[in-house]
Amino acid sequence: MQQFEELLLRLKEILSYDSSAPLIFNSGLFLFLFVAFLALYLLLRRTTTLRIIYVIAFSLFFYYKSSGIYFLLLVFAAVSDYIISHAIAGSSDPKTKRRWVAASVVINLGMLGYFKYTNFFIDIANSLAGGGFLEFQNIFLPVGISFFVFQSMSYTIDVYRNQIQPLNRFTDYLFYLSFFPQLVAGPIVRAKDFIPQIRKPVEVTERMFSGAIGLIIIGLIKKAIISDYISLNFVDRIFDEPALYSGFECLMGIYGYALQIYCDFSGYSDMAIGIALLMGFRFPKNFDAPYKSATITEFWRRWHISLSSWLRDYLYISLGGNRKGKLRTYLNLLITMVLGGLWHGAAIRFVLWGALHGVALALHKVWLRINPWAKASGEQMNPLSRVLGWFVTFHVVCLGWLLFRAEDMQTVQVMLYQIANSFNTAIIPQVIEGYKAVMGLIVLGYGMHFIPKQIDDDLMRKVGGASFWWQVAMLVITAWCVMQIKSSDIQPFIYFQF
């Protein structure tokens, strides 16, 4: 009887929401639940409607485990935009169509604005008024709200632009919006790419299975081994008290954070794409070795591709893109990137990060106009120009990551001061010796990133070509390595806060 009660208690813990323990891909609980989910999913693969309802139920449970009762926001967004999309398609009056799509934008951005930016605007108002006449609100930020809001909003805009037809079944739309692999941290999947896959027969080929296992292994290594370890054992310490460290350590802290955020986010994307592949769904690539970029324009073609393409298609082009003259083009780039920075978080540092990238993109446009030999991407450059372009681009991006990660501008100033005035090359061997594991993982992480594409593809083919049991063994070994070096608590993904 006691064992039965303990079992019920454990089951209740598994099914209940715990704000301190969101359900994330690199946790043992997710692995257990996903294996159980996948077994029944494969049994239902030929019963389309039941399969869709089953995936929706698991997806909503997955989001409930991350944000509690706020999973109802996701359902509300789905209901709202499903109705609005049919209203847009059913109207022949252009003004009415515009009103409906505007309603979708207002509802979605209103939701996002309330939960994410209320206290940010209260802080600005209090600063302008010179006093705290407005009280800060205790508002919970639902995990990944920025992702599903953008995804839902793009659906109604695409219907308005006649690029897609509205779905006839609400369950299909809820499936699209709530699909758990990409729900809380992307990629931001376009309706025209994903919806045609929903009712297709489930087919997981040997190549898809092998590719999925390879992506999950790589994602785990990036996130749970490289990113988490260098974050907890080096990067966080530097950013918490930069004045205590030399300029070399501060610079390595910035390089370390550049690697950490890449491994964290691209690792999540790899796992999301891999998990979707195991279910028979294909997601577009979200990262393409962004630190290989030789121009800032190339960087944004390689970094968080689903967001950068979303900002281009739904914001930059809507503002006029490059169709209204040079100055307007530069202004549109700046506005797009500032708003893109604000999308990442309600803080001035994110606005400054976006502004830096907006200015850099505008300056690159100017450079392309005044220099007939300038190239938009590194592939078109000669070797020397590419190396110089890479060096400049990488350090502009790292300056942006400093603004992105630092809690305040004082931290930015201290770190830049230490780098400029207290570099102290004599202690470099001592620092490397003291942080051997961290430095080794930083070298490993950048080595994986800069490996030539042909070699990377060959390695993926070898993993994919291995036997089933070898693939399982590689996954088990990776999981074992994760367990050996992980901290006492599972580290959430950085982009969960966005």
Q: Catalytic residue positions?
A: 344
Question: 144, 183 in Cβ contact below 8 A?
Answer: yes
Question: 461, 455 in Cβ contact below 8 A?
Answer: no
CA-angle at 264, arms to 261 and 267, nearest 5°: 135
Instruction: In whole angstroms, give the CA distance from residue 141 to residue 117.
Output: 10
Question: 418, 242 in Cβ contact below 8 A?
Answer: yes
